[in-house]
Chains A and B, each alone.
Chain A
Amino acid sequence: MPYRIVASQCTNCSACEAQCPNEAISEKGNTFVIDPVKCTECAGHFDTPQCVAICPVDLTCIIDTSLPRYQGQPA
Protein backbone atom coordinates (compact mmCIF):
# COMPACT_ATOMS: atom_id res chain seq x y z
CA MET A 1 0.00 0.00 0.00
CA PRO A 2 2.35 2.56 1.09
CA TYR A 3 4.19 4.85 -1.33
CA ARG A 4 2.68 8.12 -2.40
CA ILE A 5 3.82 11.02 -4.59
CA VAL A 6 4.13 14.51 -3.14
CA ALA A 7 2.29 16.52 -5.79
CA SER A 8 4.13 19.78 -5.12
CA GLN A 9 7.47 18.02 -5.75
CA CYS A 10 6.44 16.01 -8.82
CA THR A 11 7.79 17.33 -12.14
CA ASN A 12 5.34 15.19 -14.09
CA CYS A 13 8.23 13.50 -15.90
CA SER A 14 6.58 10.05 -15.97
CA ALA A 15 9.81 8.17 -15.24
CA CYS A 16 8.23 6.28 -12.33
CA GLU A 17 5.24 5.16 -14.36
CA ALA A 18 7.30 2.99 -16.69
CA GLN A 19 9.35 1.45 -13.88
CA CYS A 20 6.53 0.39 -11.54
CA PRO A 21 6.26 -3.42 -11.62
CA ASN A 22 2.64 -3.26 -10.40
CA GLU A 23 1.35 -0.66 -12.86
CA ALA A 24 0.24 1.26 -9.81
CA ILE A 25 1.30 4.66 -11.12
CA SER A 26 -0.75 6.83 -13.46
CA GLU A 27 -1.08 10.45 -14.49
CA LYS A 28 -3.76 12.47 -12.81
CA GLY A 29 -4.03 16.15 -13.60
CA ASN A 30 -0.61 17.73 -13.39
CA THR A 31 0.99 15.04 -11.32
CA PHE A 32 1.38 11.29 -11.09
CA VAL A 33 -0.33 9.26 -8.42
CA ILE A 34 0.27 5.82 -6.87
CA ASP A 35 -2.68 3.52 -6.40
CA PRO A 36 -2.23 2.46 -2.76
CA VAL A 37 -4.07 -0.80 -3.40
CA LYS A 38 -1.63 -1.86 -6.13
CA CYS A 39 1.64 -0.63 -4.57
CA THR A 40 3.69 -3.40 -2.98
CA GLU A 41 6.79 -1.28 -2.24
CA CYS A 42 8.27 -3.43 -5.04
CA ALA A 43 8.41 -6.38 -2.61
CA GLY A 44 9.12 -9.56 -4.55
CA HIS A 45 10.22 -7.61 -7.61
CA PHE A 46 13.18 -5.43 -6.69
CA ASP A 47 15.35 -4.61 -3.71
CA THR A 48 14.46 -0.93 -3.79
CA PRO A 49 11.22 0.82 -4.70
CA GLN A 50 11.63 1.72 -8.36
CA CYS A 51 9.75 5.01 -8.20
CA VAL A 52 12.07 6.26 -5.47
CA ALA A 53 15.17 5.10 -7.33
CA ILE A 54 14.40 6.85 -10.62
CA CYS A 55 12.65 10.02 -9.40
CA PRO A 56 14.77 13.08 -10.28
CA VAL A 57 13.54 15.04 -7.26
CA ASP A 58 14.41 13.67 -3.83
CA LEU A 59 11.66 13.22 -1.26
CA THR A 60 8.94 13.05 -3.91
CA CYS A 61 8.03 9.36 -3.70
CA ILE A 62 7.64 8.76 0.03
CA ILE A 63 6.03 6.26 2.40
CA ASP A 64 2.42 7.15 3.05
CA THR A 65 2.36 7.07 6.83
CA SER A 66 -1.41 7.27 6.93
CA LEU A 67 -1.60 3.73 5.59
CA PRO A 68 -0.23 0.46 6.99
CA ARG A 69 2.99 -0.87 5.45
CA TYR A 70 2.70 -3.54 2.79
CA GLN A 71 2.53 -6.96 4.41
CA GLY A 72 2.79 -9.24 1.42
CA GLN A 73 0.09 -10.83 -0.66
CA PRO A 74 -3.02 -11.87 1.30
CA ALA A 75 -3.57 -15.61 1.23
Chain B
Amino acid sequence: MASSVPGSFAGIAENSEPVVDIADVMQKIAEHKGCGTSSDGGKASCGSSAGPADMAPEIWEKVKNHPCYSEEAHHHYARMHVAVAPACNIQCNYCNRKYDCANESRPGVVSERLTPEQAAKKVLAVASTIPQMTVLGIAGPGDPLANPKKTFETFRLISDVAPDIKLCLSTNGLALPDWVDEIAKYKVDHVTITINMVDPEVGQHIYPWIFWDHKRVEGLEAARILSERQLLGLEMLTERGILAKINSVMIPGVNDMHLVEVNKAVKSRGAFLHNIMPLISAPEHGTVFGLNGQRGPSAQELKALQDACEGDMNMMRHCRQCRADAVGLLGEDRSAEFTTDKIMAMEVEYDAEGRKAYQQQVEAERQAKVAARAGELDGLEAAGDIRVLVAVATKGHGVINEHFGHAKEFQIYELSGTGAKFVGHRRVDLYCQGGFGEEDSLDTIIKAINDCHAVFVAKIGGCPKADLTAAGIAPVDAYAHEYIEASAIVWFKDYLAQVASGAIVHAARGDAAIRQGALLAS
Protein backbone atom coordinates (compact mmCIF):
# COMPACT_ATOMS: atom_id res chain seq x y z
CA MET B 1 0.00 0.00 0.00
CA ALA B 2 2.05 2.83 -1.32
CA SER B 3 0.21 5.52 0.59
CA SER B 4 0.79 3.95 3.97
CA VAL B 5 4.53 3.43 3.55
CA PRO B 6 6.40 5.80 5.83
CA GLY B 7 8.02 8.52 3.81
CA SER B 8 5.31 8.88 1.22
CA PHE B 9 4.11 12.08 2.89
CA ALA B 10 7.38 13.89 2.46
CA GLY B 11 5.44 16.93 1.33
CA ILE B 12 3.94 17.23 4.78
CA ALA B 13 7.15 16.58 6.62
CA GLU B 14 8.72 19.61 5.05
CA ASN B 15 6.33 21.78 6.99
CA SER B 16 8.36 21.54 10.12
CA GLU B 17 8.53 25.28 10.72
CA PRO B 18 5.78 26.94 12.74
CA VAL B 19 2.98 27.58 10.34
CA VAL B 20 0.23 29.13 12.42
CA ASP B 21 0.14 32.81 11.78
CA ILE B 22 -1.76 34.35 14.68
CA ALA B 23 -2.86 37.31 12.55
CA ASP B 24 -4.18 34.89 9.98
CA VAL B 25 -6.09 33.04 12.65
CA MET B 26 -7.58 36.28 13.93
CA GLN B 27 -8.73 37.05 10.38
CA LYS B 28 -10.38 33.65 10.26
CA ILE B 29 -12.09 34.35 13.57
CA ALA B 30 -13.52 37.54 12.16
CA GLU B 31 -14.80 35.67 9.10
CA HIS B 32 -16.07 32.88 11.29
CA LYS B 33 -18.04 35.14 13.58
CA GLY B 34 -19.49 36.94 10.60
CA CYS B 35 -20.34 33.79 8.70
CA GLY B 36 -23.99 34.05 9.63
CA THR B 37 -24.41 30.41 10.50
CA SER B 38 -27.67 30.47 12.32
CA SER B 39 -27.59 28.76 15.63
CA ASP B 40 -30.70 28.35 17.68
CA GLY B 41 -30.73 31.26 20.04
CA GLY B 42 -27.11 32.32 19.73
CA LYS B 43 -24.42 30.56 21.60
CA ALA B 44 -24.39 26.80 21.33
CA SER B 45 -23.46 26.81 24.94
CA CYS B 46 -22.56 24.08 27.37
CA GLY B 47 -19.66 21.83 28.05
CA SER B 48 -16.20 22.93 28.99
CA SER B 49 -15.84 25.46 31.75
CA ALA B 50 -19.37 26.80 31.72
CA GLY B 51 -21.76 26.22 34.57
CA PRO B 52 -25.52 26.15 34.58
CA ALA B 53 -25.69 29.91 34.01
CA ASP B 54 -25.00 29.78 30.29
CA MET B 55 -26.15 26.29 29.50
CA ALA B 56 -29.48 24.80 28.56
CA PRO B 57 -30.63 22.96 31.73
CA GLU B 58 -31.33 19.69 29.93
CA ILE B 59 -27.81 19.64 28.50
CA TRP B 60 -26.23 20.59 31.84
CA GLU B 61 -28.10 17.72 33.43
CA LYS B 62 -26.55 15.35 30.92
CA VAL B 63 -22.99 16.64 31.09
CA LYS B 64 -22.48 17.88 34.62
CA ASN B 65 -21.01 14.64 35.93
CA HIS B 66 -19.16 13.76 32.75
CA PRO B 67 -15.43 14.47 33.09
CA CYS B 68 -14.86 14.44 29.33
CA TYR B 69 -17.63 16.94 28.61
CA SER B 70 -17.50 19.33 31.53
CA GLU B 71 -14.19 20.87 32.54
CA GLU B 72 -15.56 21.47 35.97
CA ALA B 73 -16.75 17.89 36.40
CA HIS B 74 -13.38 16.42 35.63
CA HIS B 75 -12.04 17.65 38.96
CA HIS B 76 -14.63 15.55 40.76
CA TYR B 77 -15.67 12.66 38.59
CA ALA B 78 -13.80 9.82 37.01
CA ARG B 79 -14.29 7.87 33.86
CA MET B 80 -13.08 4.58 32.60
CA HIS B 81 -12.56 3.10 29.18
CA VAL B 82 -12.90 -0.57 28.48
CA ALA B 83 -10.87 -1.89 25.59
CA VAL B 84 -13.36 -4.25 24.00
CA ALA B 85 -13.06 -2.93 20.45
CA PRO B 86 -9.69 -3.65 18.87
CA ALA B 87 -10.64 -3.71 15.18
CA CYS B 88 -10.56 -0.58 13.06
CA ASN B 89 -11.92 0.27 9.64
CA ILE B 90 -9.66 3.16 8.66
CA GLN B 91 -5.99 4.01 8.82
CA CYS B 92 -4.80 7.34 10.23
CA ASN B 93 -1.30 8.71 9.80
CA TYR B 94 -1.06 9.52 13.51
CA CYS B 95 -1.86 5.98 14.60
CA ASN B 96 0.32 2.91 14.70
CA ARG B 97 -1.44 -0.18 15.95
CA LYS B 98 1.75 -2.14 16.49
CA TYR B 99 2.98 0.27 19.13
CA ASP B 100 2.00 -0.77 22.65
CA CYS B 101 4.20 0.43 25.46
CA ALA B 102 2.70 -0.17 28.90
CA ASN B 103 3.80 3.32 29.88
CA GLU B 104 2.33 5.00 26.86
CA SER B 105 -0.58 7.36 27.19
CA ARG B 106 -2.38 8.18 24.01
CA PRO B 107 -5.48 7.10 22.11
CA GLY B 108 -5.22 3.83 20.18
CA VAL B 109 -2.91 2.31 22.76
CA VAL B 110 -4.04 -0.41 25.15
CA SER B 111 -2.30 -3.11 27.12
CA GLU B 112 -5.05 -5.64 27.46
CA ARG B 113 -8.14 -6.44 25.45
CA LEU B 114 -11.30 -7.47 27.26
CA THR B 115 -14.34 -9.54 26.35
CA PRO B 116 -17.70 -7.83 27.04
CA GLU B 117 -18.13 -10.05 30.14
CA GLN B 118 -14.71 -9.10 31.48
CA ALA B 119 -15.46 -5.46 30.74
CA ALA B 120 -18.71 -5.57 32.74
CA LYS B 121 -16.91 -7.13 35.69
CA LYS B 122 -14.20 -4.51 35.47
CA VAL B 123 -16.74 -1.67 35.46
CA LEU B 124 -18.35 -3.03 38.63
CA ALA B 125 -14.98 -3.53 40.29
CA VAL B 126 -13.93 0.02 39.50
CA ALA B 127 -17.28 1.55 40.44
CA SER B 128 -17.21 -0.10 43.83
CA THR B 129 -13.62 1.04 44.48
CA ILE B 130 -13.87 4.57 43.03
CA PRO B 131 -17.24 6.16 43.95
CA GLN B 132 -16.62 9.12 41.65
CA MET B 133 -16.60 6.84 38.58
CA THR B 134 -19.68 7.99 36.68
CA VAL B 135 -18.81 7.40 33.05
CA LEU B 136 -17.99 4.33 31.01
CA GLY B 137 -16.62 4.85 27.55
CA ILE B 138 -15.67 2.58 24.72
CA ALA B 139 -12.96 4.20 22.68
CA GLY B 140 -11.22 1.40 20.94
CA PRO B 141 -8.31 0.86 20.78
CA GLY B 142 -9.80 0.43 17.32
CA ASP B 143 -13.22 1.82 16.42
CA PRO B 144 -16.16 0.77 18.62
CA LEU B 145 -18.49 0.72 15.63
CA ALA B 146 -16.13 -1.50 13.67
CA ASN B 147 -16.75 -3.96 16.54
CA PRO B 148 -20.50 -3.49 16.95
CA LYS B 149 -21.28 -6.86 18.55
CA LYS B 150 -18.68 -6.47 21.29
CA THR B 151 -19.47 -2.81 21.85
CA PHE B 152 -23.23 -3.16 22.22
CA GLU B 153 -22.99 -6.38 24.23
CA THR B 154 -20.77 -4.50 26.68
CA PHE B 155 -23.28 -1.66 26.94
CA ARG B 156 -26.11 -4.12 27.47
CA LEU B 157 -24.33 -5.95 30.28
CA ILE B 158 -23.35 -2.73 32.06
CA SER B 159 -26.74 -1.06 31.80
CA ASP B 160 -28.24 -4.17 33.42
CA VAL B 161 -25.99 -4.11 36.49
CA ALA B 162 -25.11 -0.41 36.89
CA PRO B 163 -27.89 1.69 35.38
CA ASP B 164 -26.60 4.97 36.90
CA ILE B 165 -23.38 4.88 34.90
CA LYS B 166 -23.40 7.02 31.79
CA LEU B 167 -22.38 5.31 28.59
CA CYS B 168 -20.45 6.93 25.81
CA LEU B 169 -18.41 5.97 22.82
CA SER B 170 -15.87 7.51 20.54
CA THR B 171 -15.79 6.76 16.81
CA ASN B 172 -14.14 7.79 13.57
CA GLY B 173 -17.66 8.05 12.14
CA LEU B 174 -17.31 5.82 9.09
CA ALA B 175 -19.83 3.27 10.37
CA LEU B 176 -21.79 5.72 12.54
CA PRO B 177 -24.91 6.19 10.33
CA ASP B 178 -25.47 2.41 10.41
CA TRP B 179 -25.53 2.30 14.21
CA VAL B 180 -27.22 5.49 15.38
CA ASP B 181 -30.46 3.70 16.19
CA GLU B 182 -28.64 1.04 18.16
CA ILE B 183 -26.77 3.79 20.03
CA ALA B 184 -30.11 5.39 20.91
CA LYS B 185 -31.52 2.03 22.00
CA TYR B 186 -28.80 1.54 24.62
CA LYS B 187 -29.27 5.10 25.87
CA VAL B 188 -25.74 6.05 24.93
CA ASP B 189 -26.29 9.77 25.12
CA HIS B 190 -22.73 10.96 24.52
CA VAL B 191 -20.90 10.25 21.29
CA THR B 192 -17.55 11.63 20.24
CA ILE B 193 -16.66 11.74 16.55
CA THR B 194 -13.11 12.44 15.48
CA ILE B 195 -13.38 14.84 12.54
CA ASN B 196 -10.08 16.17 11.27
CA MET B 197 -11.31 17.62 8.00
CA VAL B 198 -14.36 18.39 5.89
CA ASP B 199 -12.35 18.72 2.67
CA PRO B 200 -10.99 15.57 0.99
CA GLU B 201 -8.03 17.55 -0.32
CA VAL B 202 -6.98 17.95 3.31
CA GLY B 203 -8.16 14.50 4.34
CA GLN B 204 -6.00 12.63 1.83
CA HIS B 205 -2.94 13.71 3.83
CA ILE B 206 -4.38 12.35 7.08
CA TYR B 207 -6.03 9.09 6.03
CA PRO B 208 -4.12 6.76 3.70
CA TRP B 209 -7.10 4.42 3.36
CA ILE B 210 -10.50 3.35 4.62
CA PHE B 211 -12.15 -0.07 4.46
CA TRP B 212 -15.43 0.57 2.71
CA ASP B 213 -17.89 -1.74 0.96
CA HIS B 214 -15.46 -4.66 1.23
CA LYS B 215 -12.66 -2.76 -0.45
CA ARG B 216 -9.71 -0.68 0.63
CA VAL B 217 -10.36 2.82 -0.73
CA GLU B 218 -7.50 5.32 -0.85
CA GLY B 219 -6.74 8.98 -1.42
CA LEU B 220 -9.33 11.64 -2.16
CA GLU B 221 -12.13 9.12 -2.56
CA ALA B 222 -11.45 7.66 0.89
CA ALA B 223 -11.48 11.09 2.52
CA ARG B 224 -14.65 12.09 0.65
CA ILE B 225 -16.56 9.01 1.80
CA LEU B 226 -15.29 9.34 5.37
CA SER B 227 -16.26 13.01 5.58
CA GLU B 228 -19.76 12.37 4.19
CA ARG B 229 -20.34 9.57 6.67
CA GLN B 230 -19.05 11.60 9.61
CA LEU B 231 -21.29 14.58 8.89
CA LEU B 232 -24.30 12.38 8.15
CA GLY B 233 -23.71 10.52 11.42
CA LEU B 234 -23.49 13.80 13.31
CA GLU B 235 -26.78 15.01 11.82
CA MET B 236 -28.47 11.75 12.75
CA LEU B 237 -27.25 12.00 16.34
CA THR B 238 -28.50 15.58 16.57
CA GLU B 239 -31.93 14.56 15.22
CA ARG B 240 -32.20 11.99 18.01
CA GLY B 241 -31.06 14.33 20.76
CA ILE B 242 -27.83 12.42 21.40
CA LEU B 243 -25.05 14.77 22.50
CA ALA B 244 -22.15 14.88 20.07
CA LYS B 245 -18.70 16.14 20.84
CA ILE B 246 -16.18 16.55 18.04
CA ASN B 247 -12.52 15.71 18.49
CA SER B 248 -10.04 17.16 16.02
CA VAL B 249 -6.32 16.53 15.90
CA MET B 250 -4.39 19.73 15.11
CA ILE B 251 -1.67 18.87 12.61
CA PRO B 252 0.41 21.97 11.76
CA GLY B 253 0.69 22.53 8.03
CA VAL B 254 -1.93 19.86 7.27
CA ASN B 255 -5.26 20.82 8.85
CA ASP B 256 -4.53 23.60 11.35
CA MET B 257 -6.18 26.47 9.49
CA HIS B 258 -8.79 24.14 8.07
CA LEU B 259 -10.08 23.27 11.55
CA VAL B 260 -11.88 26.63 11.63
CA GLU B 261 -13.93 25.29 8.68
CA VAL B 262 -14.45 22.01 10.51
CA ASN B 263 -15.67 23.98 13.53
CA LYS B 264 -18.26 25.76 11.40
CA ALA B 265 -19.41 22.54 9.77
CA VAL B 266 -19.90 20.66 13.04
CA LYS B 267 -21.46 23.57 14.87
CA SER B 268 -24.08 24.02 12.17
CA ARG B 269 -24.92 20.30 12.45
CA GLY B 270 -25.54 20.48 16.18
CA ALA B 271 -22.29 19.38 17.83
CA PHE B 272 -22.24 20.89 21.31
CA LEU B 273 -18.53 20.83 22.13
CA HIS B 274 -15.37 20.92 20.04
CA ASN B 275 -12.14 19.45 21.36
CA ILE B 276 -9.08 20.44 19.36
CA MET B 277 -6.14 18.34 20.49
CA PRO B 278 -2.48 18.63 19.62
CA LEU B 279 -0.98 15.97 17.35
CA ILE B 280 1.11 13.53 19.37
CA SER B 281 3.99 12.66 17.11
CA ALA B 282 7.39 11.22 17.83
CA PRO B 283 9.57 8.97 15.68
CA GLU B 284 9.56 6.20 18.28
CA HIS B 285 5.79 5.82 17.93
CA GLY B 286 6.35 4.52 14.40
CA THR B 287 3.41 6.46 12.96
CA VAL B 288 3.60 7.89 9.45
CA PHE B 289 3.61 11.39 10.92
CA GLY B 290 6.16 10.47 13.57
CA LEU B 291 8.54 8.95 11.05
CA ASN B 292 8.13 11.86 8.66
CA GLY B 293 9.10 14.40 11.28
CA GLN B 294 5.62 15.97 11.25
CA ARG B 295 5.63 18.13 14.35
CA GLY B 296 2.78 18.86 16.74
CA PRO B 297 1.66 22.42 17.56
CA SER B 298 3.15 24.62 20.25
CA ALA B 299 1.04 25.56 23.25
CA GLN B 300 0.33 29.05 21.89
CA GLU B 301 -0.52 27.74 18.41
CA LEU B 302 -3.03 25.35 19.97
CA LYS B 303 -4.52 28.04 22.17
CA ALA B 304 -4.80 30.51 19.27
CA LEU B 305 -6.75 27.97 17.24
CA GLN B 306 -8.98 27.04 20.19
CA ASP B 307 -9.64 30.73 20.83
CA ALA B 308 -10.40 31.23 17.12
CA CYS B 309 -13.05 28.52 17.18
CA GLU B 310 -14.59 29.63 20.45
CA GLY B 311 -16.75 32.40 19.01
CA ASP B 312 -20.08 30.65 19.09
CA MET B 313 -19.24 27.27 20.49
CA ASN B 314 -17.58 26.07 23.64
CA MET B 315 -14.19 24.50 23.27
CA MET B 316 -12.93 21.69 25.38
CA ARG B 317 -9.56 22.53 26.89
CA HIS B 318 -9.00 19.81 29.41
CA CYS B 319 -8.63 16.73 27.23
CA ARG B 320 -5.81 14.46 28.40
CA GLN B 321 -5.76 12.31 25.25
CA CYS B 322 -5.98 9.24 27.41
CA ARG B 323 -5.55 5.61 26.64
CA ALA B 324 -8.38 3.39 25.45
CA ASP B 325 -8.16 1.52 28.77
CA ALA B 326 -7.66 4.45 31.13
CA VAL B 327 -9.26 4.38 34.59
CA GLY B 328 -9.67 7.24 37.05
CA LEU B 329 -9.83 11.00 37.04
CA LEU B 330 -8.53 12.66 33.89
CA GLY B 331 -4.81 13.08 34.27
CA GLU B 332 -4.41 10.03 36.45
CA ASP B 333 -4.45 6.45 35.36
CA ARG B 334 -5.33 3.70 37.80
CA SER B 335 -5.67 0.99 35.17
CA ALA B 336 -2.81 -0.99 36.73
CA GLU B 337 -5.03 -1.59 39.78
CA PHE B 338 -7.65 -3.22 37.61
CA THR B 339 -5.95 -5.76 35.39
CA THR B 340 -8.04 -8.74 34.35
CA ASP B 341 -6.30 -11.01 36.85
CA LYS B 342 -7.02 -8.64 39.71
CA ILE B 343 -10.65 -7.91 38.86
CA MET B 344 -11.51 -11.55 38.43
CA ALA B 345 -10.26 -12.11 41.99
CA MET B 346 -12.11 -9.10 43.44
CA GLU B 347 -15.19 -9.26 45.63
CA VAL B 348 -17.47 -6.76 43.98
CA GLU B 349 -20.31 -4.98 45.69
CA TYR B 350 -22.10 -2.22 43.87
CA ASP B 351 -22.63 0.50 46.45
CA ALA B 352 -25.32 2.70 44.94
CA GLU B 353 -25.91 4.58 48.23
CA GLY B 354 -22.23 5.37 48.77
CA ARG B 355 -21.94 6.64 45.23
CA LYS B 356 -24.95 8.90 45.71
CA ALA B 357 -23.55 10.30 48.97
CA TYR B 358 -20.26 11.12 47.31
CA GLN B 359 -22.02 12.90 44.48
CA GLN B 360 -24.01 15.06 46.92
CA GLN B 361 -20.79 16.10 48.63
CA VAL B 362 -19.35 17.09 45.26
CA GLU B 363 -22.34 19.30 44.53
CA ALA B 364 -21.74 21.21 47.79
CA GLU B 365 -18.05 21.69 46.94
CA ARG B 366 -18.91 22.96 43.50
CA GLN B 367 -21.31 25.56 44.81
CA ALA B 368 -18.73 26.80 47.33
CA LYS B 369 -16.20 27.20 44.55
CA VAL B 370 -18.56 29.16 42.32
CA ALA B 371 -19.48 31.45 45.23
CA ALA B 372 -15.80 32.11 46.03
CA ARG B 373 -15.12 33.07 42.44
CA ALA B 374 -18.12 35.40 42.15
CA GLY B 375 -17.05 37.32 45.26
CA GLU B 376 -13.78 38.40 43.71
CA LEU B 377 -14.88 39.70 40.32
CA ASP B 378 -15.47 43.34 41.34
CA GLY B 379 -12.71 45.76 40.39
CA LEU B 380 -11.32 43.74 37.51
CA GLU B 381 -12.26 46.37 34.94
CA ALA B 382 -8.83 47.92 35.67
CA ALA B 383 -7.34 45.09 33.58
CA GLY B 384 -8.17 46.85 30.32
CA ASP B 385 -6.48 44.82 27.58
CA ILE B 386 -4.12 43.04 29.91
CA ARG B 387 -4.38 39.26 29.80
CA VAL B 388 -1.98 36.91 31.54
CA LEU B 389 -1.69 33.16 31.84
CA VAL B 390 -0.95 31.48 35.16
CA ALA B 391 -0.11 27.84 35.87
CA VAL B 392 -1.63 26.00 38.84
CA ALA B 393 -0.45 22.89 40.67
CA THR B 394 -3.54 21.02 41.82
CA LYS B 395 -4.63 17.55 42.77
CA GLY B 396 -8.25 18.43 42.01
CA HIS B 397 -11.37 19.78 43.74
CA GLY B 398 -10.62 23.21 42.27
CA VAL B 399 -8.03 23.95 44.97
CA ILE B 400 -4.32 24.87 44.86
CA ASN B 401 -3.18 21.79 46.71
CA GLU B 402 -0.15 20.32 44.99
CA HIS B 403 3.55 20.76 45.77
CA PHE B 404 5.49 22.21 42.83
CA GLY B 405 7.92 19.32 42.76
CA HIS B 406 5.16 16.69 42.77
CA ALA B 407 3.04 18.14 39.99
CA LYS B 408 2.77 15.93 36.91
CA GLU B 409 0.81 18.60 35.11
CA PHE B 410 -0.18 22.22 35.56
CA GLN B 411 -3.57 23.69 34.82
CA ILE B 412 -3.48 26.92 32.86
CA TYR B 413 -5.85 29.81 33.60
CA GLU B 414 -6.17 32.98 31.58
CA LEU B 415 -6.77 36.07 33.70
CA SER B 416 -8.42 39.10 32.14
CA GLY B 417 -11.01 41.77 32.82
CA THR B 418 -13.72 39.10 32.75
CA GLY B 419 -12.15 36.88 35.41
CA ALA B 420 -10.27 33.60 35.43
CA LYS B 421 -10.84 31.10 32.67
CA PHE B 422 -9.46 27.58 32.40
CA VAL B 423 -7.70 27.33 29.03
CA GLY B 424 -5.70 24.12 29.21
CA HIS B 425 -3.19 21.99 30.98
CA ARG B 426 0.47 21.18 30.46
CA ARG B 427 2.07 17.85 31.16
CA VAL B 428 5.42 18.05 32.87
CA ASP B 429 5.88 14.44 33.90
CA LEU B 430 8.95 12.48 33.03
CA TYR B 431 8.84 10.33 29.98
CA CYS B 432 10.21 7.06 28.77
CA GLN B 433 11.32 7.89 25.29
CA GLY B 434 12.69 4.56 24.12
CA GLY B 435 16.28 5.27 25.10
CA PHE B 436 16.12 9.02 24.65
CA GLY B 437 17.67 10.82 27.58
CA GLU B 438 15.64 12.56 30.22
CA GLU B 439 16.25 16.25 30.30
CA ASP B 440 16.41 18.23 33.48
CA SER B 441 12.94 18.22 34.95
CA LEU B 442 12.91 21.85 36.06
CA ASP B 443 13.95 22.89 32.58
CA THR B 444 11.08 20.75 31.24
CA ILE B 445 8.62 22.51 33.52
CA ILE B 446 9.83 25.97 32.57
CA LYS B 447 9.50 25.14 28.88
CA ALA B 448 5.97 23.81 29.44
CA ILE B 449 4.73 26.90 31.29
CA ASN B 450 7.01 29.47 29.68
CA ASP B 451 4.01 31.51 28.49
CA CYS B 452 2.79 31.99 32.08
CA HIS B 453 3.44 34.98 34.33
CA ALA B 454 3.08 33.02 37.56
CA VAL B 455 2.76 29.52 38.92
CA PHE B 456 0.50 28.83 41.91
CA VAL B 457 1.57 26.04 44.23
CA ALA B 458 0.80 24.69 47.70
CA LYS B 459 4.52 24.60 48.46
CA ILE B 460 7.80 25.06 46.65
CA GLY B 461 11.49 24.67 47.50
CA GLY B 462 14.09 27.44 47.43
CA CYS B 463 16.02 26.27 44.36
CA PRO B 464 13.13 25.97 41.89
CA LYS B 465 11.75 29.23 43.28
CA ALA B 466 14.94 31.07 42.29
CA ASP B 467 15.13 29.41 38.87
CA LEU B 468 11.48 30.19 38.11
CA THR B 469 11.94 33.80 39.12
CA ALA B 470 15.04 34.02 36.91
CA ALA B 471 12.94 32.67 34.01
CA GLY B 472 10.36 35.40 34.62
CA ILE B 473 7.69 33.17 36.14
CA ALA B 474 6.61 34.27 39.61
CA PRO B 475 6.28 31.36 42.07
CA VAL B 476 3.20 31.99 44.25
CA ASP B 477 2.59 29.93 47.39
CA ALA B 478 0.49 32.47 49.29
CA TYR B 479 -2.79 30.77 48.33
CA ALA B 480 -2.07 27.21 49.40
CA HIS B 481 -5.23 25.10 49.75
CA GLU B 482 -7.49 27.93 48.57
CA TYR B 483 -9.80 27.94 45.56
CA ILE B 484 -7.92 28.35 42.30
CA GLU B 485 -10.07 30.90 40.52
CA ALA B 486 -10.73 33.18 43.48
CA SER B 487 -7.01 33.15 44.40
CA ALA B 488 -5.88 33.82 40.85
CA ILE B 489 -8.20 36.82 40.62
CA VAL B 490 -6.90 38.27 43.91
CA TRP B 491 -3.34 37.83 42.64
CA PHE B 492 -4.26 39.39 39.29
CA LYS B 493 -5.76 42.46 40.97
CA ASP B 494 -2.52 42.90 42.90
CA TYR B 495 -0.57 42.48 39.65
CA LEU B 496 -2.72 45.15 37.99
CA ALA B 497 -2.23 47.50 40.95
CA GLN B 498 1.53 47.13 40.67
CA VAL B 499 1.38 47.82 36.92
CA ALA B 500 -0.77 50.91 37.59
CA SER B 501 1.65 52.22 40.23
CA GLY B 502 4.60 51.69 37.92
CA ALA B 503 6.18 49.12 40.26
CA ILE B 504 6.25 46.60 37.43
CA VAL B 505 5.85 46.81 33.67
CA HIS B 506 3.43 44.42 32.01
CA ALA B 507 5.10 42.47 29.22
CA ALA B 508 3.89 39.54 27.15
CA ARG B 509 5.51 36.13 27.68
CA GLY B 510 6.82 33.76 24.98
CA ASP B 511 5.49 30.45 23.71
CA ALA B 512 5.50 27.11 25.52
CA ALA B 513 6.08 23.52 24.43
CA ILE B 514 3.58 20.67 24.45
CA ARG B 515 5.27 17.52 25.69
CA GLN B 516 5.43 14.58 23.31
CA GLY B 517 6.06 10.96 24.05
CA ALA B 518 5.06 8.30 26.47
CA LEU B 519 3.68 9.06 29.90
CA LEU B 520 5.35 7.19 32.71
CA ALA B 521 2.74 5.25 34.61
CA SER B 522 4.00 6.13 38.06
Contact = CB atoms under 8 A, between A and B. Distances in A.
Interface in B92-148: 97-98, 113, 141-142, 146-147
Given A50-B214, A53-B211, A58 B86 contact: no
Nearest to B213: A46
A47 B98 CA distance: 27
A17 B147 CA distance: 11
Contacts of A48: 214-216
Contacts, number: 51
Contacts of A47: 214-215
Interface of A: 9, 11-15, 17-19, 46-48, 50, 53-54, 56-58
A9 B286 CA distance: 14
Contacts of B87: 13-15, 17-18, 54
B142 A13 contact: yes
Contact of A15 (B1, B98, B142): B142
Contacts of B516: none
B518 interface: no
B88 interface: yes
A15 B146 contact: yes
Contacts of B216: 48, 53-54
Interface residues of B, number: 19
Interface in B74-94: 86-89, 91
Contact of B91 (A18, A50, A56): A56
23 contacts: A13-B86, A13-B87, A13-B88, A13-B141, A14-B86, A14-B87, A14-B147, A15-B87, A15-B89, A15-B142, A18-B147, A19-B211, A19-B214, A46-B214, A47-B215, A48-B214, A48-B215, A50-B214, A53-B215, A54-B89, A56-B97, A57-B97, A57-B98
Nearest to A18: B87
Contacts of A56: 88, 91, 97
A54 to B, nearest CB: 5
B4 interface: yes
Interface in B436-463: none
Given A11-B98, A13-B142, A58-B4, A53 B89 contact: no
B98 A12 contact: no
Most B CB atoms within 10 A — which of A12, A48, A54? A54
Interface string B164-193: 000000000000000000000000000000
Contacts of B146: 15
Nearest to B148: A18
Contacts of A46: 214-215
A9 to B, nearest CB: 8
B88 A15 contact: yes
Most B CB atoms within 10 A — which of A17, A18, A46, A47? A18
Contacts of A19: 211, 214
Nearest to A46: B214
A53 B215 CA distance: 6
B115 to A, nearest CB: 11
Contacts of B97: 11, 13, 56-57
B211 A54 contact: yes
Interface in B259-285: none
Contacts of A9: 98
Contacts of B86: 11-15
Nearest to A47: B215
Nearest to B143: A15
B243 to A, nearest CB: 28
A56 B87 CA distance: 9
Which 10 residue pairs of A and B lie closest in terms of their CB atoms, listed nearest first?
A15-B87, A53-B216, A13-B86, A56-B97, A54-B211, A11-B97, A46-B214, A14-B87, A13-B87, A14-B86
A47 B88 CA distance: 21
B118 to A, nearest CB: 15
B171 to A, nearest CB: 15
Contacts of A17: 87
Nearest to A42: B214
A49 to B, nearest CB: 10
Nearest to A52: B216
Contacts of A54: 87, 89, 211, 216
Nearest to A59: B1
Most A CB atoms within 10 A — which of B1, B87, B98? B87
A55 to B, nearest CB: 9
B43 to A, nearest CB: 40
